[in-house]
Amino acid sequence: MSTAVDIAGPSSPDQGTTSCAKIPNEPLRRSLKRSSHPYTLSQYISTPSAPAPVDVSSLLQSSSALHHHHHHHQHQAGPPSKPRRAPCWPDMWESPSGLHLAHAAELLMRAGLLALNPSAEQAALVQPGGQPEEEEDALMGCGTEFQPFLGAWFPFSPALFPLAAGFQMGGAAHWRSAAAAVAAAAAAGAGEGMEGKRKRCGECVPCRRQRNCDQCSSCRNRKRGHQICKYRKCEELKRKPGGPGFDSRVPGFDLRGSEFTLGLAQERAHAALDG
DNA sequence: TTACACGTAGTA
DNA sequence: TACTACGTGTAA
Ligand SMILES: [Zn+2]
Ligand SMILES: [Zn+2]
């Protein structure tokens, strides 16, 4: 008998889904709603999977193709501006503003593993190939980047687990990226508010993703959006300078990899040595 | 709040 | 030079 939970949420859209039982569409308790999270728990659970295997790409195609679009002019004359698209399931599994579901699950489960067996945490961090991984889009066939725990993801909702938000950050990478930006600005003789661009930390979970999901809004809109895949957007860069907690952090949980297990860190080291 | 868009810094 | 993607603005 398979005791594994069948509700397997994908860690990202590029993974297959398994089927699960439909769950009555019951509204989320108001006390749990937390701000304006657009989806109910049952939506989280029922949406990514369907009774029959569903072709994701066709699903996505139809979602944009079927909608009769009242075209809005985007202060832009010639080129056809894309009709604004309603969020679809990848967006549901990974809300850009909140703690990502898959990450939340991963972090929570790692935290559990860490408490039970510290060495398991190490194992969880090791890539199957064991390589320090090529940094940029080396299209290697590394299918799964986040291994499911006991074969299944749990549909943790950030709305239901606000505590998980405390797990996501830690460390001082933002010090580096922000400080580097300031230093660059200073070197360029810039005043306040003229900092250079920050750089991704290269250490957080999104930074360590190797491939674009090709399904999030950033991926779909890459040509004109010029944004990195949402699944790869650095956690540090998501925090705005001057935002709450930018200079502080939640102590205790630094789940990121070590400096030298990561490509960008090595790249930095080389750059530093090179001068 | 997110989706979409643009300019351009930073890099190779 | 081409390319990626940060910062920002705007619309919904
Ligand atoms: Zn993406
Ligand atoms: Zn990062």
Q: Is the pLDDT of residue A257 over 70?
A: no
What the block records as the tokens of A47 is 């949406």
Instruction: Give the pLDDT confidence of A201-227 residue by residue, as tens digits.
Output: 999 999 999 999 999 999 999 999 999
C-alpha A8 – ligand 1 centre gap (Å): 20
Burial class (CB in 10 A: 0-12, 13-18, 19+), A107: buried
Most confident of A72-76, A107-111, A193-197, A217-221: A217-221
Nearest residue to B4 (CA, C1')?
A225
Nucleic chain B: which protein residues 209-248 of A have CB below 7 A from it? 217, 220-221, 224-227, 230
What the block records as the tokens of A64 is 């944009």
ipTM above 0.90, yes or no: yes
Instruction: Give the pLDDT confidence of A88-146 residue by residue, as tens digits.
Output: 555 555 554 444 555 555 556 556 555 555 444 333 333 333 333 344 333 333 333 33
Q: Does the reported pTM lie above 0.80?
A: no
C-alpha A53 – ligand 1 centre gap (Å): 22
What's the pLDDT at A217?
93
Percent of chain A clearing pLDDT 90 (strictly above): 15
